[in-house]
Amino acid sequence: MAEPLRIALAGLGTVGAGVIRLIETNAALIARRAGRPLEIVAISARDRSKKRSVDLSRYAWEDDMVILGEKPEVDVVVELVGGADGPALACARATIEAGKALVTANKAMIAHHGLELATKAEAAKVALKFEAAVAGGIPVIKGLREGAAANAFERVYGILNGTCNFILSTMEDTGRDFADVLAEAQARGYAEADPAFDIEGTDAAHKLAILAAIAFGAKLDFAAVDTAGISRLRAADIAQADSLGYVIRLIGMAEPGHAADGPRLFQRVQPHLVPFDHPLAHVDGATNAVVAEGNFSGRLLFQGAGAGDGPTASAVVADLIDIARGEIGAPFSVPVAELETLPPALTGNRTGRAYIRFIVADRPGVLAELTAAMRDAGVSIESLIQKGRSEAGGEVMVAMVTHEGPESAVSEALRLLDGSPSLIRPPLVMQILGA
């Protein structure tokens, strides 16, 4: 058997423990598939004294994770510390600068510093891999970067945050309201004590920006992701969507855009109405799923567990096996120097159908005011549902679905209504996912 691939592990939380357990449990078959064993030669974490679920006594402890890559007995460092900056970034930079490969599950760090790290890795001719940073155990980075590499992508989109999907599908199944289900998700450990990162769409936006860079050969641009979360959704929105033939899912979507000055890239995370007959409508619970539409492959779907120690460890170790086999290609599929700078697409140029929900005062003339604004902005209404006085405090909910039309017209209609005393809350707009 060939020399082992010698691994240092930085970060020993649930995912770090999962990686250790995986490498121990599947050691023999991994060695056969990789052509050489994977061997953990050093471990590090912020707090050595913390009680952990795996026995660490057989592994050499290193207090300073930043120097792991400098150790001569280390071939690759696995960074599982988390956080876009701080120790994780210091560890990643030092590892690559020491000429060692880096594997990470850290989506925030890749979304913010991925180009810098990839540039360094390409210069040092070492691998930088982050399959676990997007969609947990689903090999979707490999799917786009290699499996579907022959295609120009027309659109890449999916369900990228398991916490949001758990909340939405539980709201759907139980009719309960957002705050109530979020509290349950927190109690069950599916959502963080500070859930903003998940429910406001930031986590999904990190993953989308990474996928978009790979799929469209574009310089990663997290700041350009137009991001909205799910915290404003109500049980009544889910019920309305259901009555119209849709479920609501938080969708991250990227596709090429065009403007007079050249190509652009559209990136958005937003709750969408998904038709019952779309494969994403059947993705429930904490599951993730990514759709890639290639110009030759047609629609490809990758689905699986989006988080958890086992699935995340599966993706981390797949990267290690790739490295053991000698696969050290460009992290973003093409070298960083060849990635295009694509400015954000103007959403107003897009066309589609939208769901618009108003919470309005319960008094005469409000419907006329809303529909007049739509008419004046050129928005054509396909259906309109006004619920009775079930909402508290004299509020009424009015939900519309528009015909296909420019997003700019919907924005204009909302601008016309801006400041109207009839609107008790800001309107909520969700796009309808087109086939």
DSSP H helical segments within 135-278, as ranges? 140-142, 162-174, 178-187, 196-199, 202-216, 235-244
Question: Shortest gap between Cβ of 26 and a copy of itself (angstroms)?
Answer: 6
C-alpha dist (Å) from residue 105 to 77, 158, 306? 12, 19, 12
122 is an interface residue for a copy of itself by CB under 8 A: no
263 is an interface residue for a copy of itself by CB under 8 A: no
Q: How far is C-alpha 280 from the geometric centre of its chain's CA atoms?
A: 14
Nearest alpha-carbon partner for 268 in 214, 192, 348: 348
Taking CB under 8 A as the criterion, the residue among 4, 13, 82, 217 binding a copy of itself is 217
Question: Residue for token digits 């403007």?
Answer: 259
Read off the amino acid at residue 406: P
Q: What is the SS3 assignment for 289? A: strand
End-to-end CA distance of the chain: 50
111 is an interface residue for a copy of itself by CB under 8 A: no
Paired with 352 in beta bridges are 405
331 is an interface residue for a copy of itself by CB under 8 A: no
Could you tell me which stretch among 4-12, 130-138, 225-233, 415-423 binds a copy of itself (CB under 8 A)? 130-138
Q: What is the DSSP letter of 124?
A: H
Tell me how many degrees the CA angle 402-407-411 measures, rounded to the nearest 5: 95
300 is an interface residue for a copy of itself by CB under 8 A: yes
Question: Shortest gap between Cβ of 295 and a copy of itself (angstroms)?
Answer: 7
Decide whether 75 or 407 has the Cβ nearer to a copy of itself: 75
Paired with 360 in beta bridges are 396, 423
218 is an interface residue for a copy of itself by CB under 8 A: no
> Is 56 within 8 Å of 50 (Cβ atoms)?
no
Could you tell me which stretch among 176-184, 228-236, 324-332, 370-378 binds a copy of itself (CB under 8 A)? 324-332
318 is an interface residue for a copy of itself by CB under 8 A: yes
- Give the integer Cα–Cα distance in Å for 435 and 433: 7
* Strand 351-352 to 246-259 pairing: unpaired
302 is an interface residue for a copy of itself by CB under 8 A: yes
> Within a 13 Å sphere around the CA of 193, how many CA atoms are in the beta-carbon half?
0
Residue 125 annotated among the catalytic residues of the structure? no
Question: Shortest gap between Cβ of 174 and a copy of itself (angstroms)?
Answer: 16
Question: Shortest gap between Cβ of 420 and a copy of itself (angstroms)?
Answer: 43
Choice among 100, 120, 129, 207 that is catalytic: 207
Question: Shortest gap between Cβ of 146 and a copy of itself (angstroms)?
Answer: 6
Read off the amino acid at residue 296: F
Could you tell me which stretch among 29-37, 186-194, 236-244, 250-258 binds a copy of itself (CB under 8 A)? 29-37
1 is an interface residue for a copy of itself by CB under 8 A: no
Taking CB under 8 A as the criterion, the residue among 18, 195, 331, 427 binding a copy of itself is 18
Binding site for a copy of itself (CB under 8 A): 18, 22, 25-26, 29-30, 32-35, 131, 137-139, 142-143, 145-152, 217, 279, 282, 289, 294-305, 308, 310-311, 313-318, 320-322, 325-327, 329-330, 333-334, 338
Catalytic residues: 207
